[in-house]
């Protein structure tokens, strides 16, 4: 009997459930570039309502969502402040510089930052020699920091201080609903201080494609034009949007299962003598092994897929397609790998 592949590389590897496929197959569609796809329109209305914004726009990817938000909120030559390891800089192929002509300056540590960090990064006074800082970008949860949640009260305090100093605010909420489920704080409260908020349907929520940008109606008009400019207009996209609607209706509360299994995985890795840091807050587990290259080859032979994220650490991501028994099986395969040495 073939060994089942257990894929912990990312929560982007999920496949649509049978019920989600049925929703996609039955979707009513139209031409979304003309604004005539009823299923896309319904998804956008749902997203805007859930995040407490006036409007939302469906886009193909989280990267596009972030980048059109950045472009809408900045001018060429501006500086964008973001937390260390921000997806906006680390995983988006230099798009902020290439497409919006802005520089991204990292602040804080492990994806978090304080009012003091923001203030220290601002020019003391307006000066023709110094690039203006116009945008502060948060990431919640923070990918490179291991699915870390930006503490709510701290986020609100930093956001308020930034607005007082004239900065605009973007929330990269690719995994925002993981923070919602983990804290019990509704998405609209997380989103309230921000000019733009993006979130992904194709990660923990389990849809195959797509993200949303949420904002005021006036700002979304510019975001919509930027989607067209960046080539993100889609035609009968309701087939995809139907999966997003299904995800928002059925896959939010179940994120708690992923968080529980991530904690189980972390505990098991610790029992095997591996260093887990930080302790998982949502669906990601960051851990170190003594010989990363050999470990990686060995788990791949055992049909266990986990990505290294740097020379020393691995990141395991629990998701919709990972069952309770898969966690036990993964730990056994890792135990076998470690016993080879």
Architecture category of domain 18-250 in CATH: 3-Layer(aba) Sandwich (3.40)
- What percentage of the chain reaches a pLDDT higher than 70? 99
- Give ranges for CATH 3.90.1150.10 in the chain: 254-339
Determine how many CB atoms are found less than 10 A away from the CB of residue 28: 12
The tokens for 333 are 């395969």
The whole-number pLDDT of residue 2 equals 61
Residues of each domain in the chain carrying CATH 3.40.640.10: 18-250
The answer to whether 8 and 318 are in contact (CB under 8 A) is yes
Q: What was the pLDDT predicted at 297?
A: 95
The encoded tokens of residue 338 equal: 């470690």
Total-model pTM = 0.96
169: β partners? 136
3-state secondary structure of 228: helix
**CA atoms lying within 13 Å on the CB side of residue 134:** 18
Q: Which fold has domain 254-339?
A: 3.90.1150
Q: Mean of the pLDDT values across residues 113-136?
A: 94
Dist. CA 333–CA 323, nearest whole Å: 15
Share of the chain above pLDDT 90, in %: 95
Note the pLDDT tens digit of each residue in 228-246.
Answer: 999 999 999 999 999 999 9
* pLDDT for 216 beyond 80: yes
> DSSP letters of 219-273?
HHHHHHHHHHHTT---SSTHHHHHHHHHHHHHSSTTHHHHHHHHHHHHHHHHHTT
Residue 3: pLDDT band with limits 50, 70, 90: confident
CA dist list (Å): 86 to 90, 245, 292, 317? 6, 28, 24, 18
Task: Give the model confidence (pLDDT) of 130-176 as tens digits.
Answer: 999 999 999 999 999 999 999 999 999 999 999 999 999 999 999 99
Strands (E) in the chain, as ranges, are: 6-7, 55-59, 79-83, 103-107, 133-139, 168-172, 196-200, 211-215, 275-276, 284-288, 304-305, 307-308, 313-317
């Amino acid at each position: 009997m073939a060994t089942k592949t257990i894929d912990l590389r990312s929560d982007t590897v999920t496949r649509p459930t049978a019920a989600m496929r049925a929703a996609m197959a039955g979707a009513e569609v139209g031409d979304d570039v003309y604004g005539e796809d009823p299923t896309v329109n319904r998804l956008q209305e749902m997203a805007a309502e859930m995040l407490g914004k006036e409007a939302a726009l469906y886009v193909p990817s989280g990267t596009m969502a972030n980048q059109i938000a950045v472009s809408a909120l900045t001018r060429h030559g501006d500086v964008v402040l973001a937390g260390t390891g921000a997806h906006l800089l680390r995983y988006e192929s230099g798009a902020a510089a290439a497409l919006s002509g802005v520089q991204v300056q990292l602040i804080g540590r492990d994806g978090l930052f304080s009012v003091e960090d923001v203030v220290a990064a601002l020019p003391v006074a307006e000066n023709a020699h110094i690039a203006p800082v116009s945008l502060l970008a948060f990431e919640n949860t923070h990918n490179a920091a291991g699915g870390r949640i930006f503490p709510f009260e701290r986020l609100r305090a930093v956001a308020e201080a930034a607005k007082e100093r004239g900065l605009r605010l973007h929330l990269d909420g690719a995994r925002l609903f993981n923070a919602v489920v983990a804290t019990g704080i509704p998405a609209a409260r997380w989103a309230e201080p921000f000019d733009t908020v993006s979130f992904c349907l194709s990660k923990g929520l389990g849809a195959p494609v797509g993200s949303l940008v949420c904002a005021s109606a006036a700002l979304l008009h510019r975001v919509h034009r930027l989607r067209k400019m960046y080539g993100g207009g889609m035609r009968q996209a309701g087939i995809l949007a139907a999966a997003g609607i299904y995800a928002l209706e059925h896959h939010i509360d179940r994120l708690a299962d992923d968080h529980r299994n991530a904690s189980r995985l972390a505990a098991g890795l610790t029992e095997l003598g591996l260093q887990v840091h930080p302790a998982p807050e949502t669906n990601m587990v960051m851990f170190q092994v003594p010989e990363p290259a050999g470990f990686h080859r060995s788990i791949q032979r055992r049909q266990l897929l986990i990505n290294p994220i740097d020379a020393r650490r691995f990141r395991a991501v629990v998701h919709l397609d990972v069952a309770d028994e898969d966690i036990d099986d993964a730990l056994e395969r890792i135990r076998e790998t470690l016993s080879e040495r």
